[in-house]
Structure 1
Amino acid sequence: MGEFIGALTGLAAVTAPFLMVLGIIWLNGRKKLEEKRITATAEMSSEKAAQYASHVAQLEQRVQVLERIVTDRGYDVATQIEALRDRQAVEQSGSGTPLDMPRKETV
């Protein structure tokens, strides 16, 4: 039994440095991969931020246009929109009767 323990201790003493070197190499590889992942994530985040900023700028421009329409033409816009809706409803119904009025059934 003593010989077995001695052989096992000798084997551990010989293989331990190799295992340590392999572990260090593996950890360095993992570290480099993690750094690349972090860099890629940061780049994607900055791209997304630029896309969001562009989208927000477009929305702000649209809101400015809508504000100009409302202030230049007054509040008559709502009446015009309702008139267009009523006209569209009449065209869709095909009978010339507004949707809010009941239809008479033909027999």
Structure 2
Amino acid sequence: MDWGGPGFIVLLVAISTIGWLVNNWIRAKHGYSLENEWGGMTEKPDTAKEERLAQQNKQLLETMEKMQDRMVVLERIVTDKGYSLSEEIEALRDAPVRETPVRGAGDNGVPLNLESKEKA
């Protein structure tokens, strides 16, 4: 055999290729990660993990839809014509003033001037 001829080079390439194929076949058969074109490792896909993620995604979507329904209800309550927070606050401000209690009957001794309103 001529060690410097083209046949020797073809034989080396063929042996290397067959060795690479056998190596990858054994690795794939036993569940090891395979080497990709750029020398990195490609992992075997985990179908159980994908199933868990799909289930979790489904639950999150259902929760989000429920929350959207609640938001619609809350928006309807807040924007309802009968619900006016500012009117209720003004009604409390305009409430009749009670007479001040007798000193020593549980008050803290600081008189409140409820008759003068805050200027806006």
TM-score, normalisation: structure 1: 0.45
Q: Is the radius of gyration larger for structure 1 or structure 2?
A: 2
Task: Decide which structure has greater helix share.
Answer: 1
TM-score, normalisation: structure 2: 0.42
